[in-house]
Structure 1
Amino acid sequence: MKTSKPVKIAGAILLGLVVIVILFFLLFDWNMLRPYINRKVSETTGREFAIRGDLDVKFQRNQDSEEGWRRWVPHPRVSAEDVHMSNPDWSTVGPEMASAQRVEGAFRILPLLGKNAILTDLRLVAPNVAVERRKDGRNSWTFKDNGPSEWKVDIQRLSFNSGQLRYVDEPIGLDLRAQAKSIEGAPAPRDGVQPYGLAFTLDGTYNKAKISGGGRAGAVLSLTDEHTTFPIEAKADIGDNKIGLQGTIRDPRSIAGFELQMQLGGASMADLYALTGVLLPETPPYSTSGHLMGKKNGEYWSFTYRDFKGKVGASDIGGTLTYAQRATRPLLIGNVASQQLRLADLGPTVGADTGTGTKAAGKVKAPAEGKALPVDQFNTEKWGALDAEVKFSGKRIVRTHDIPLSDIETTIRMKDKVLTLTPLSFGMAGGRITSNIRLDGTDKTLDASARIAARGLKIRELFPKLQSMQASFGEVNGDGALAGRGNSVAAMLGTSQGELNAVVTEGTVSRFILELAGLNVANAVFVKIFGDKQTLLHCVAAQTTVRNGRANIDRFVLDSEEAVVNATGYVDLAKEQLDVDVRPRTKGTRVLSLRTPLYARGSFTDPKVGPHVGPLALKGGAAVALAAVTPVAALIPLINVDRAPDTNCGAEIAAATKKPSMKPAPKVGDAAPASTAGKTNAAAPAKSGNKGELHPKAATVQ
């Protein structure tokens, strides 16, 4: 089929036009357009823009950045030398927002007809960028608002070599400087994996903490595919913290997410506040390693530290934490677990020193001479920095006391400057203690309250070093409710209000212990010579009322087959003094019995324990007087024939297992304590139906 003459003519004309256009692009002096371009961009952006060097346009094929047939189609490639863009007048980072020795960009022609600028390849030579964000929300990279633009700009591939960056972000306290240099002889991408093409150094400050470090990164950002990754590797010191990152940034078009391997360590976890805004206690040196993932949702980021493992002093930690930015304040959620937790590693949080050689050593304020309760202050100024809900579990708890703790579980919540541990539960002495703790930091003085339930504590495990108690059995169950005000443990206990109750419904106790408590000398010697035996324990019931830091013993009775023991007195938590009388009464005849009340009095740091002198002197004087008549008669005052009546255990236990009440501690200037806060409760033990005895097996604290 022959081509018609008009078609041949049209084709020749079209070809001629193409040749003319190409010749125009090749021969035209583009520098003639620089004044127009500089003026037009300056007017549009509201910033001074200038191309001070050569401006040129050439046709090239972009085989590296194009796919399919487009790889063989030449595209215009614009190059501009010595390009500058100014910062706004208010900027403090320098007069220029960006400059480059050379800017090159290839674009497609046809999309320009639809006001769509598709830059298939943009290359920057020696870029220098200085940008800033102010506390009032202004930033230097937002240009003059001319309304919605009719043009759309799509950058598909960005590459750069040696350059400099300064970024100041006032809202987060960041002033970062970075210098990058091209890595000579960097390999080409292989199997879609981009090699490192830039080496960089970092310095500056973050929340007044000094930054220093460096690393490597890719030199090419491919922005056409959401599955594209950009490699990065960095190490930096931020204050006393050391951080290492290695991995990839996904979807570099919007930097909407990343996944990096992160190592984090330092002298104390308290130093992380400047880095993360998360308030943590003073600790010994720590180190962690895990996966750091970031995701952007709208204008807010969330960061997840997933499957991390590490050490804090001699304790191990691991878990997953997520830190989410919000309009009000950030939220920290997650789970943390420890196989072995050393309480001293929590440092001043629990009133313990972390030991010499650590940053937190000696930071715990010691009580005044003659005082024992912790006086170190809780710092609540930063409690409003974030909200939190973190679940914590610990398998084994290492501490200096003889009674081990295990299987700790709690959920730590912080909201509106109110810290709660609900519930805080842990194993102790073969049983379990469950509590709800609340610290309200909205005022300068903390409001503290706690409800406690102890279930199934084994008597013999409560006295692990007392040999006479190792054959004893029985369980202690108790409930307590306390409220106080103050910024230290000592202040909270010194103002506390509430009740503490405890019962033992059945069990055995060492006969030697009971004889010794009653100062029945002959029986105690007999037991030690011929062997100790266990005597049946009918019940133990204790009830204490706490008012203004003074715990008054309202009821204490121990009833066994051998004796009845009662106790009265008080323990003053405000003055750290105690005055308690213990009055044993035997249930049978005792020879050489010095039966007399015992006392425990004095300060917490120097308590005095012993028998009351008056009754002993009376018995001793009577024995001496009768000895003048006959030596045998001297034994008469030392023979006890009084038999103590059995205790109504059912009534005593019923009274001691009532729900404890909690009265809030009075504020300064209050005439009297506020009314009882009856909104929380501890589950009462269930009745067994046997002599009114109670056998609590579990506790629920609300």
Structure 2
Amino acid sequence: MAQRLPIGKIAAWIIAVLAVMIAALVVFLLTFDWNRARPWIDDKVTQAIGRQFHITGDLKVGWQRPPSETGWRRWVPWPRFSAQHITIANPDWAKQPQFATLDEIDFQVEVLPLLARDIVIPTINLVNPSIDLERLEDNRNNWTFRFNQPAEPSTWHLTLHDIAFATGHVAYADQLTQADMQVVVDTLGQPVPIGDVMKQQEQASRESSAQVVGKSGATQLHKQVETRQVEASAASAASSAAAASSGPASPASTSANTGTTSQQKSKPSVPSYGLGWTLRGTYKKTAVSGSGKVGGVLALQDTTRPFPVQADVKIGDTHIALAGTVTAPAHLAALDLKLWLQGVSMAHLYPIAGVPLPETPPYATEGRLVGQFNEDGNVFRYENFTGRVGGSDVNGSTVYVGEKPRPMVSGELVSNLLQFSDLAPIIGADTNASKAKRGEPSRQPSNKALPVEQFKTDRWKAVDADVKFTGRRIIKDPALPITHLYTHVIMTDGVLTFEPLKFGVAGGTLASNIYLDSSTTPLKGRFATQARHLKLKQLFPTVKTMQSALGEVNGDAALSATGNSPAALAATSNGEVRALITDGTVSRLYMEAAGLNVLNVVYEKLFGKRDVKINCAAVDFVVTNGVLESRVFALDTDDAVINMDGHIDLQTEQMDLGIHPHTKGLRVISLRSPLYVKGTFKNPHVGVNAAALAVRGGAVVGLGLVNPFAALIPLIAPSNNKPLPCAQMLADMRAAPSAPPAGQKQREKAAPAYLASGAAGPAEDSPGGAARAQAASKTAPAGPAAASEAQYRGR
């Protein structure tokens, strides 16, 4: 029988063999030239990532005892791997040859977890990492890798606790967004809590707001924010009290102050900021600079915890700052940020956000930006923001939905104190200095009153919009009788409408429905305007003699036009404009002065303050290719009838109007003569018809040579004019004005019925007046009046 070896000897042999093997392995690991393994490692990594991978420097493996372990574990050494000068190639279409370069990488691997097929790496140290990111117009990019998937899933698991590096560089060139930027990333040294960063950004943004809207504007903005916070807290307290009285609060109840739910409050806390970055470059050929902070690299892996982000960036003259969190940043699931915006004009946000906002004065806003990223369309809400635009405040909420075929922007905005002058840039009616400040290349000609600045119709199809705006109180020149504003702006597939654009004017309303279609060049426009219950005395709030006037102005206008600016639309307009005044009173002094009744004016100045009754007044213009012809412009009072004829040319901005006063009753020392209004909108000229006045003056001189008392005869004006047919005027003016399709000329219409008598037509003592009155009497339809003032005013 074979002799059995003692178990002790067997164990000794096994231990000896293992010791020799370990010693041999240690000697091998310590003496092996690992650079020989570089070709094999390069090949395996290249196959795995689908890009050329190279280690061109030394590849080393060393052993170190773990500094963080205690007890017997600290005697188990960990291998430490290091490699120098690593490169990952770019695709052949990229401008730069390398996607990533790294001066050195080193890391340790825990030994004991390897027995359970776990690869645990406490820290990876990166030395001077540099990444090149590129994207072409056809959407090809170099950051998408085609990894070779193994046939069977690996039984090994990788755990990485930290990534450390001193300074990293990222280059980003994107032909789709026209971005070319350089980013430097560095560690902060120590973690920074999100609350500290939020306070710092809030202070920095308010200092920046003062530079844009002025210190006073920034102070007002700060007060607005505090007021809204108090209102939100009160609303939250009221909501909590109501919920307490009705029963237990719902677990998804929302806090009005923070906008978070109780479910959200139970989520894990936000990690601290670990990395800082700075940015330089261009975006759509506009200079970009900025800085910010983000959480640590490994925080990206935890999709259950919000990832902190902060940025303070300038793009041209626009300043954007944000601080908050992103959920699952690798997939951009959601975001919740405090957002500050400042700039010279809101229109400059279009290249950045793709939303065609109007031109505005310098602005500053702050609010909360909440976003959800969905396959059907991303949704972003700028909630409960407040801001300053010029000298006005603005508050509200807007929603952006990235739906197809176009994104949709909706919202409700309110201004409690609106500077009327802040509306001027919207239509290009601001000064040339203001235009230069907001970067507008076009300038308003010095001889033009109507704005010539072009609408940016190329942007109108970028998004659809449904926005309501309310200006509760308008601050303006005392002579301007406007009190408030409301408009509902709708934009659909390049068609912009205001339904309505409504002003509070002189105790009444001036409401317009405006339709602008940019699908053609130039755009086509339609305008329908209603003036209702405008009080005469409030129309002239700074004229003392009008403060006793009574009566209301009611009117309608219908116009169509083509053109890409307010001036071009006015120059091509066609349609009708009508207005009426009935049952009012006006200062007799005005009526006497209009008739140049000298003695009566002197008497009224010295002794009289009587008002004269307005029987009726009518304005009826027909508009043809931008020229307003006065079909009827007449005023009938107990003392006088005043007619006006002529035209107003909106293309040349020239006026040529004749005013013909007709006295009722005896007037002594009357220089009754036609007046004129001529010149341009910028430089109008009002005066007396010199020829007619010279005839009267010549008669005075001639009769004075015969008999001094006879010289007064030409200056005594007896009653020689019939009153206006007010009832018939009301009946005919009740018909709504009309306009042809945009681009077509206004068709000629029969004269109104009230012109049949010739009483309201052009004065017969005006040039051509008798002929026009006779022609009007032939074309006017016959028939009694069938309408009343109440019927018109009630429309």
- TM > 0.5: yes
Alignment pair present for 1:564 and 2:641: yes
Alignment pair present for 1:693 and 2:771: no
Does structure 2 conserve the Cα–Cα contact (< 8 Å) formed by 1:501 and 1:657? no
Alignment pair present for 1:640 and 2:717: yes
Counterpart AA for 1:181: D
Q: Aligned to 2:472, what secondary structure does the other structure show?
A: strand
The 3 A distance-change label for structure 1 pair 170 and 106 is: farther
Please name the residue that 1:352 is paired with. 430
Match of 2:136 among 134, 137, 154: 134
Please name the residue that 1:390 is paired with. 467
Does structure 1 conserve the Cα–Cα contact (< 8 Å) formed by 2:629 and 2:647? yes
Match of 2:47 among 43, 49, 52: 43
Any stretches of 5+ residues in structure 2 without a counterpart?
1-14, 70-75, 196-267, 749-784
The 3 A distance-change label for structure 1 pair 94 and 563 is: same
Alignment pair present for 1:96 and 2:99: yes
Q: Aligned to 1:183, what secondary structure does the other structure show?
A: strand
Please name the residue that 1:437 is paired with. 514
The 3 A distance-change label for structure 1 pair 400 and 355 is: farther
The range that moved more, 135-144 or 277-286, is 277-286
CA distance in 2, matches of 1:591, 1:675: 46
CA distance in 2, matches of 1:357, 1:594: 48
Alignment pair present for 1:199 and 2:204: no
Match of 2:314 among 237, 245, 267: 237
Does structure 1 conserve the Cα–Cα contact (< 8 Å) formed by 2:728 and 2:786? no
Does structure 2 conserve the Cα–Cα contact (< 8 Å) formed by 1:237 and 1:243? yes
Does structure 2 conserve the Cα–Cα contact (< 8 Å) formed by 1:536 and 1:561? yes
Match of 1:290 among 360, 367, 376: 367
Does structure 1 conserve the Cα–Cα contact (< 8 Å) formed by 2:87 and 2:98? no
RMSD: 4.3
Q: Aligned to 1:673, what secondary structure does the other structure show?
A: coil
Does structure 2 conserve the Cα–Cα contact (< 8 Å) formed by 1:348 and 1:364? no
Q: Aligned to 2:181, what secondary structure does the other structure show?
A: strand
Please name the residue that 2:479 is paired with. 402
Alignment deviations for residues 17-38 of structure 1 (CA, whole Å, 9 cap, x no partner): xx99xx99x9796979876564
Q: Aligned to 1:171, what secondary structure does the other structure show?
A: coil
CA distance in 2, matches of 1:151, 1:98: 30
- Following superposition, the deviation at residue 290 of structure 1 comes to 1.9
TM-score, scaled relative to structure 2: 0.71
- Following superposition, the deviation at residue 524 of structure 1 comes to 2.2
Match of 1:173 among 151, 172, 178: 178
Counterpart AA for 2:105: R
Alignment pair present for 1:530 and 2:532: no
Match of 2:530 among 437, 447, 453: 453
CA distance in 2, matches of 1:515, 1:150: 105
1:595-634 to structure 2, matched below 5 A, reads 595-628=672-705, 630-634=707-711
CA distance in 2, matches of 1:154, 1:675: 83
The 3 A distance-change label for structure 1 pair 359 and 610 is: closer
Does structure 2 conserve the Cα–Cα contact (< 8 Å) formed by 1:245 and 1:263? yes
- Following superposition, the deviation at residue 139 of structure 1 comes to 1.7
Please name the residue that 2:756 is paired with. none
CA distance in 2, matches of 1:580, 1:460: 25
CA distance in 2, matches of 1:396, 1:118: 68
Does structure 2 conserve the Cα–Cα contact (< 8 Å) formed by 1:589 and 1:640? yes
Alignment pair present for 1:319 and 2:396: yes
The 3 A distance-change label for structure 1 pair 517 and 636 is: same
Does structure 2 conserve the Cα–Cα contact (< 8 Å) formed by 1:347 and 1:360? no
Q: Aligned to 2:416, what secondary structure does the other structure show?
A: strand
1:79-90 to structure 2, matched below 5 A, reads 81=83, 84-90=87-93
Q: Aligned to 2:593, what secondary structure does the other structure show?
A: helix
Alignment pair present for 1:275 and 2:352: yes
Does structure 2 conserve the Cα–Cα contact (< 8 Å) formed by 1:455 and 1:477? yes
The structure that is helix-richer by fraction is: 2
CA distance in 2, matches of 1:77, 1:236: 44
Please name the residue that 2:443 is paired with. 365
The 3 A distance-change label for structure 1 pair 351 and 560 is: same
The 3 A distance-change label for structure 1 pair 658 and 691 is: closer
Does structure 1 conserve the Cα–Cα contact (< 8 Å) formed by 2:524 and 2:563? yes
Counterpart AA for 1:352: D
Any stretches of 5+ residues in structure 1 without a counterpart?
1-15, 64-73, 667-671, 677-688
CA distance in 1, matches of 2:360, 2:461: 21
- Following superposition, the deviation at residue 207 of structure 1 comes to 1.3
Alignment deviations for residues 439-477 of structure 1 (CA, whole Å, 9 cap, x no partner): 333344232332111112111122223221111011111
- Following superposition, the deviation at residue 405 of structure 1 comes to 2.5
Does structure 2 conserve the Cα–Cα contact (< 8 Å) formed by 1:397 and 1:404? no
| Number of residue pairs the alignment of both structures matches | 648
CA distance in 1, matches of 2:461, 2:708: 78
The 3 A distance-change label for structure 1 pair 299 and 269 is: same
The range that moved more, 183-192 or 281-290, is 183-192
Aligned-residue identity in percent = 37
CA distance in 1, matches of 2:436, 2:51: 53
Does structure 2 conserve the Cα–Cα contact (< 8 Å) formed by 1:176 and 1:205? yes
Does structure 1 conserve the Cα–Cα contact (< 8 Å) formed by 2:656 and 2:676? yes
CA distance in 2, matches of 1:60, 1:385: 59
CA distance in 2, matches of 1:299, 1:165: 32
Does structure 1 conserve the Cα–Cα contact (< 8 Å) formed by 2:435 and 2:441? no
Counterpart AA for 2:547: Q
Does structure 2 conserve the Cα–Cα contact (< 8 Å) formed by 1:100 and 1:128? no
The range that moved more, 147-156 or 200-209, is 147-156
CA distance in 2, matches of 1:270, 1:391: 18
The range that moved more, 269-278 or 656-665, is 269-278
Does structure 1 conserve the Cα–Cα contact (< 8 Å) formed by 2:450 and 2:567? yes
- Following superposition, the deviation at residue 141 of structure 1 comes to 2.5
Counterpart AA for 1:92: K
The 3 A distance-change label for structure 1 pair 285 and 432 is: same
The 3 A distance-change label for structure 1 pair 137 and 224 is: closer
The 3 A distance-change label for structure 1 pair 319 and 118 is: farther
CA distance in 2, matches of 1:138, 1:474: 71
The range that moved more, 357-366 or 504-513, is 357-366
Match of 1:380 among 433, 453, 457: 457
Counterpart AA for 2:622: T
Does structure 2 conserve the Cα–Cα contact (< 8 Å) formed by 1:284 and 1:354? no
Q: Aligned to 1:292, what secondary structure does the other structure show?
A: strand
The 3 A distance-change label for structure 1 pair 187 and 438 is: closer
Does structure 2 conserve the Cα–Cα contact (< 8 Å) formed by 1:557 and 1:567? yes
Q: Aligned to 2:717, what secondary structure does the other structure show?
A: coil
Please name the residue that 1:673 is paired with. 745
Alignment deviations for residues 11-57 of structure 1 (CA, whole Å, 9 cap, x no partner): xxxxx9xx99xx99x97969798765643442344212356735799
Match of 1:264 among 341, 346, 350: 341
- Following superposition, the deviation at residue 527 of structure 1 comes to 1.7
Does structure 2 conserve the Cα–Cα contact (< 8 Å) formed by 1:353 and 1:360? no
Alignment pair present for 1:219 and 2:296: yes
Q: Aligned to 2:601, what secondary structure does the other structure show?
A: helix
The 3 A distance-change label for structure 1 pair 533 and 180 is: same
Does structure 2 conserve the Cα–Cα contact (< 8 Å) formed by 1:202 and 1:214? yes
CA distance in 2, matches of 1:77, 1:539: 104
Match of 1:503 among 570, 574, 580: 580
CA distance in 2, matches of 1:589, 1:382: 64
CA distance in 1, matches of 2:383, 2:723: 62
CA distance in 1, matches of 2:107, 2:617: 89
Counterpart AA for 2:187: S
The range that moved more, 571-580 or 360-369, is 360-369
CA distance in 2, matches of 1:298, 1:56: 49
CA distance in 2, matches of 1:92, 1:424: 53
The 3 A distance-change label for structure 1 pair 356 and 558 is: closer
Please name the residue that 1:488 is paired with. 565
